[in-house]
Structure 1
Amino acid sequence: MRRIADGVVRPDWRQQLATQGIVYNDTPTPDGGTMSYWREGPFYDFTSSEIDVLSASAATLFEMCVAAGDFIIDHNMFQLLGIPEFAWEQIKRTWWDDETEPGGRSKGDYSPSVYGRFDLRYAGEYAGRPQLLEFNADTPTSLPESAVSQWYWLQQTGQGKDQWNMIHEMLVAAWQRNISRLRQARTHLLDPLTIHFACDRSEESGEDLFNTEYLMETARQALAPLGYRTKFLWMDEIGAGDVQAGDRFYDSDGQHIDVVFKLYPWEWMLGEQFAKQCFRDMSDPRRDSTVWIEPPYKMLWSNKGLLPVLWHLYGDDPAKRDLLLPAYFESERPAWMTSYVRKPLLGREGANVSIVVDGVTTASTPGDYGGPFVCQAFAPLPSYPDQRGGEWHPVLGVWMIDGEPAGLGIRESAGLITDNLSNFVPHTIDHNGPQ
C-alpha cells in the first residue's frame, strides 16, 4: 500500500464529478472559504494480496459483530448504549430476523439490511492486519464516490490494472435478494410494491440527497424488471396517524408506506415526535406495518459501544484480537490506558473526538455530541508524505453489501482525526507507474 502523490489530473475532473452527481465537492471551511472534497491527482495503490487481506478481515469482523450483537441482547445492554426502552423489543425482533423457536414459532420479523461500512486503520501487508476504528452500520455516506466516481476515474486515467469495487453490482443484487425475501416473509405487501426512499431536507450540501438517490437508482435497476416501484420523499413528508387506532404511516400523496429506506439515523428518529408510534407500528405482526431499512437492530452496531463489547469478546483471542484496538466504556477505562481516543457513543464525522497521549489531550474536535463516551487505544493512522512536505493520514472504508465485503473508499486528512474536512481519494490495484 502506497500513496502516489502525482497521478494524472483530468482537465475536466470537476465537471466529471458534477455530471456524476457529486454536487457537494466544494466543502465550506472554518475560515469562510471552501476546499475540494475530492482529491484529484493523488491516489492509493494496493497489491492484490493486500486487497485479499482487507476483504478477509472485513468478513471476519462482520462475523465478530454478529456475535457482539448476540452478546448485547443476551446481556440486556441497551441502557448502557443509551437506547430507550420502547425500542428494545423491536431491536430484538429485527435482530432475530426470521429465526424460529422450538415448535416452529417465529422469534422475529424479517427486516432487510442492505449496506454498511467498516472504517479501518491499515498501512499495507508489512505493517500488520487491518484494525477496526468503527462500524458505520446505519447511515454511511460517501457511497456514490466509492461506487461510481472513482471507477470512472480509473477508466479515464488508466493508472492501475484494477480497483476493488463491486459495490454497484452487489447493491443491485442485494435489493433483488432482500425484497424478494421480504415479499415471501410478509405476504400482505401490495403488488406492485413501492419502495420509498427518504432523507433529511435540512442537510444543505446535497450529500445526503444524492446518496439516497443513488441507492434508489440501484433499487430501481434491481426491482423495476420485477414490477416494483421506487419513490422519493423527504423525512418531514412522512405522515403518521394514530397507530393505536389503526392508522398507518403514509407519504404526502396519501400512499401507505410499505417499505422505506431512510438515510436518517435511528438515534435521531428516537427523538422524533412519532418515535414511539413507529415502534408500536412495527411491533404488531397482525397489521400491515411499515418496514424500515436499515432495520432497528443497526442501533447495536452504529453505536461506539460496540467497540468495548468486541474487545471484551475477542481481546484474548489470538486469532482475532489483532483486528481490534483495546476499547472500554469511559467509566471502565483501566489505569494502564493513558493514550487513547475518546469518542461519543453516537458521534458522527469525527465530532467531539479527543486524542489523549500519556494523559495529555493533544487534539480534539468541536461538535454537538455529548456523552457517554468510549475510550479506544490510540494507534496513530499511517502517515504518507506528499511532494510539498505535508503528511496525509488515510482511513480505509470497506463497504459491506448484504453482509459481504464489496469494495473500498478512502478518506484522508492532514490531522489524525478524520472529520468532515477530510478528502476522498481514489485507489488502484497494481499501479505500474514509477515508485
Structure 2
Amino acid sequence: MADQVKHYNEDFITPYGVILGSFQGVEGRSNGNFNYYSHEQNYHNGLYTGIPFQCVEYVRRWLNISKGLTFYNIPFASHAWQLKYIERISDSRATSIVGIPNGSDKAPVPESLLIWESDENDKQIPFGHIAVITEVNIQENWVRVAEQNMDNNYWPGNYSRQLDLEVSEGKYFIKDNHKIIGWMVINFDVDSQNQLELGIHEPVVRKIQPPKILNGPWLNFDSPAQKYWANIWGDQPTREGEEFISYYTFDNHFYDRIMFAAMELNHMCLTATNYVINNDEQLAKFGLPHWTWKKIRNSWKGEMISGFKSFSGRFDLAFNGSSIKMFEYNSDSAGTYLEAGVIQVQWAKAVGCDYGKSASEDLENMLIEQAKELFKGFVHILIDNDDEEVYNALYIKEVFEKAGVDCKVVIGVNFKKNHQGKYTDEDGVEIKTIWKMWNWETVISNYESERKGDEIKLSDILLDQNIDIYEPIWKLVTSNKALLAVMWEMFPGHPYLLPTEWTLDGYLRNKPYVKKPIVGRCGQNVQIYTSSGEKVEEMEGKYTKRDCIYQEVFEIQKFDGFNPILGAWIVGMKPAGFGIREDTKLITDHESPYGCCRVINI
C-alpha cells in the first residue's frame, strides 16, 4: 500500500494516493480522477487487491482485511454481478453471494456490495462501478457507501457518499446519476455453507482417452527447437509404453486462483529480496561469497531506479484438493518454455483434445512483448551444452526473432576480446546484451576457479558491468531457497506459503518435513522425512555441501497415481499461464513427464 502521495497534476481532484477516509479501518484512497489508470498492482500483506486505486481494489481489500474473504479476476467492475460465490482466504472455502436487483422487494443491507452497470457511453464509469454499503436508513430514505474512484473527494465520515433510497409499493430503489444493477448480499457464515449446493466441484480433473489418429506429424520440424525436442523425447503423441493419452482440465475459476497466486508470490518474493539485499545478517544466510554482495546490491539498486528488467520466472506450485502452495521459485534459469509455450498447445490440437483453451495460451505472446520492451539491440543467448537448455534456447531465439530482436545462440564458452577491449563472440560480434540459461551459482564457481592461461572465462562475460544480463545477478537472492524461510518470517500464515524454517527446533519439530539445499536444481539432494525423522525419499545430486532449509510436507492430491507440480509463469511482472510436470515419485525432476493442461469455462 502506498504510504504517501505519488502523483499530482492539475487534473486531479485530490492528490493520487492520499487517504480520503476509511470504513472498518480500511482506507479509501484517491485515484486523482476517474480517468487515471496506474497500470500498477496493489497488495496487502502479500495478497493482491487490484489496480490502485480503482473501485474493485477497494472492495477486494475491504473483503480481505475486514472479512478474510476474496474474489478472483473479473474483467470489469460490473462483472461482479455474475459472481456466485466468494472464498475464504485461509482455506479457499466458498460462501454464497446473492444478487438482489435494484427495485426488489428486499431491502439493501449493510456490508453488501453495490454494483453499477457498465456503459461505454458513460465517461465516468464505462466499466461499471462497485462499492460497499456501509449503512442503511429506511426511515430517512438513504444508504451510505464506501468506494474508490467515483468522485475522489474526501469522505464526510466513515463513508464516501450518501445515496437516496426510494421505497415505492414495497420496492426498494437506490438512486444515483449512474444506473445501479443491484446489491449483492454475502453470507459471512462460511462454515455453514454446503459446497456442493454452491456448485463447487472438483476444479482439477485428469482425463484419459484414446488419441485421435494422426494424419501427419504434430510437431513443426521446420522449427529447430521442436525438431531438437523430438530427437530427445520422440514425436509420438503417447508416452512410451502407453496406449492412451492423458491430460488435465482446470475450471476457469481455478485458473484465476493460480494466476493470483503467481502475482502474489512474485510480489512477496521481491519484497523479501529487497529486505535480504539490504540486511547483512540476512544476506549472510544465503551462502553467497562476500564479493558478490556489492554486485548484487548495485544490480538491485539499478532496478529500483530504472524499473525491473526481469524477463521471466516460474513458480513450482502444488495442490491438495483445496489449497495451493509454493514449493519454490525458479527465477534465475527456468526451463519448460518450449513445453508450455508450444508443445502442449500443438499436442492438444493433434490428439483431438479440444476442451477449452491451453493453460498457457498467452505465454508466447507475452514473452514476445516482454522481449520487445527489454531488448533494443543484438542479444546473445548463452547456454551450457545441455539438451534441455538447447531446445529452450532455440525456442527463445524464435521468440526474440518474432519480437524483431536480432540474436544468436552461443553454446558453451568461446569468446574473444577485440582491439577496444570489448568481449565478442567467435564471429567478432560485440557482446552487449545477454539472455542466459547458465545459473548464477555456476558463474560464481567459474569466477573462483583457476584461470588457465589467457582464457576468457564465463564469469568474465557475465560479471562485466558494461554488459546487460538477463536474468540479473540480484536473482541470486530471489532464486535461493533460503528466501522461503525469509518469506515465512515476513508473511507468516500466508495461504500460499508453507512453514519453512532454518532449523528443526521450532514449529517443524515432530512434523513431517522436506530438507532442501538452499541452492539446487531439478530436485537434486531434496530429502523427505516423516515426523519421526525417517527418510522416505531422496533425490541424488551435487549439492550435498550446501546449507539447507526445512519445509513442512504438503500432501499433493494424486491423480491416477501421479503427483502433479504446477509450473506457473511470470513474464515481467505479470502471470502468464502454467503447465504441469507429473511423476509417480514424490520428487519431480527434469525427466518427469510434461502434462497438457486445458482450461474450461464453468
TM (norm. structure 1) is 0.80
Rounded Cα–Cα distance in structure 2 between residues aligned with 1:13 and 1:322: 47
In the superposition, relative to structure 1, how do residues 167 and 415 fare at CA in structure 2: closer, same or farther (>3 Å)? same
The Cα shift of 1:412 comes to: 0.4
In the superposition, relative to structure 1, how do residues 79 and 48 fare at CA in structure 2: closer, same or farther (>3 Å)? same
In the superposition, relative to structure 1, how do residues 410 and 98 fare at CA in structure 2: closer, same or farther (>3 Å)? closer
Q: Percent identity?
A: 24
Rounded Cα–Cα distance in structure 2 between residues aligned with 1:314 and 1:87: 27
> Which structure 2 residues correspond to residues 129-208 of structure 1 after superposition, within 5 A?
130-156=324-350, 157-165=352-360, 166-180=362-376, 193-201=377-385, 203=386, 206-208=387-389
Amino acid at match of 2:315: F
1:32 aligned residue = none
User: Residue 403 of structure 2 aligns to a residue in which SS?
Assistant: helix
> Which structure 2 residues correspond to residues 217-366 of structure 1 after superposition, within 5 A?
217-223=398-404, 228-239=405-416, 247-273=421-447, 274=457, 277-278=460-461, 281-282=464-465, 289-316=466-493, 321-330=494-503, 334=507, 336-358=509-531, 359-366=533-540
Q: Per-residue CA shift, 1:298-324, capped at 9, x if unaligned? A: 1111111111011010015xxxx1110
User: Residue 426 of structure 1 aligns to a residue in which SS?
Assistant: strand
Rounded Cα–Cα distance in structure 2 between residues aligned with 1:413 and 1:324: 22
Q: Per-residue CA shift, 1:269-323, capped at 9, x if unaligned? A: 11114466457631xxxxxx1111111111111111111011010015xxxx111
The Cα shift of 1:337 comes to: 4.9
Flag the structure with more relative contact order, 1 or 2, with Cα contacts below 8 A and sequence separation at least 6.
Answer: 1
Q: Which runs of 5+ in 1 are unaligned?
A: 28-34, 101-108, 181-192, 283-288, 386-390
1:68 aligned to 262, 268, 272, which one?
272
> Which structure 2 residues correspond to residues 82-93 of structure 1 after superposition, within 5 A?
82-93=287-298
The Cα shift of 1:17 comes to: 4.4
In the superposition, relative to structure 1, how do residues 373 and 36 fare at CA in structure 2: closer, same or farther (>3 Å)? farther
The Cα shift of 1:198 comes to: 1.5
Q: Are 1:213 and 2:410 matched, yes or no?
A: no
Q: Per-residue CA shift, 1:113-171, capped at 9, x if unaligned? A: 211100001245xx13x110000111111110111011112333243121222110000
CA contact under 8 A between 1:393 and 1:414: conserved in structure 2? yes
The Cα shift of 1:429 comes to: 1.5
Amino acid at match of 1:294: E
CA contact under 8 A between 2:424 and 2:430: conserved in structure 1? yes
TM (norm. structure 2) is 0.58
CA contact under 8 A between 1:111 and 1:292: conserved in structure 2? no
Residues 86-95 or 7-16, more deviating: 7-16
Q: Per-residue CA shift, 1:31-80, capped at 9, x if unaligned? A: xxxx7599971111111100011111111111101110111112123332
Rounded Cα–Cα distance in structure 1 between residues aligned with 2:486 and 2:205: 34
Q: Are 1:120 and 2:324 matched, yes or no?
A: no
CA RMSD of aligned residues (A): 2.7
Rounded Cα–Cα distance in structure 1 between residues aligned with 2:216 and 2:320: 29
In the superposition, relative to structure 1, how do residues 236 and 38 fare at CA in structure 2: closer, same or farther (>3 Å)? farther
In the superposition, relative to structure 1, how do residues 408 and 17 fare at CA in structure 2: closer, same or farther (>3 Å)? same
1:377 aligned residue = 552
**Comparing both structures, which one devotes a greater share of its residues to helix?**
1
In the superposition, relative to structure 1, how do residues 335 and 342 fare at CA in structure 2: closer, same or farther (>3 Å)? closer
CA contact under 8 A between 1:119 and 1:397: conserved in structure 2? yes
The Cα shift of 1:381 comes to: 1.7
In the superposition, relative to structure 1, how do residues 268 and 39 fare at CA in structure 2: closer, same or farther (>3 Å)? farther
Rounded Cα–Cα distance in structure 1 between residues aligned with 2:340 and 2:241: 13
1:54 aligned residue = 258
2:247 aligned to 40, 43, 56, which one?
43
CA contact under 8 A between 1:39 and 1:423: conserved in structure 2? no
CA contact under 8 A between 1:237 and 1:251: conserved in structure 2? yes
Q: Are 1:6 and 2:208 matched, yes or no?
A: yes
Amino acid at match of 2:464: D
CA contact under 8 A between 2:504 and 2:550: conserved in structure 1? no
Rounded Cα–Cα distance in structure 1 between residues aligned with 2:576 and 2:402: 18
User: Residue 311 of structure 1 aligns to a residue in which SS?
Assistant: helix
Q: Per-residue CA shift, 1:337-360, capped at 9, x if unaligned? A: 531011111111111111011121
Rounded Cα–Cα distance in structure 2 between residues aligned with 1:299 and 1:67: 15
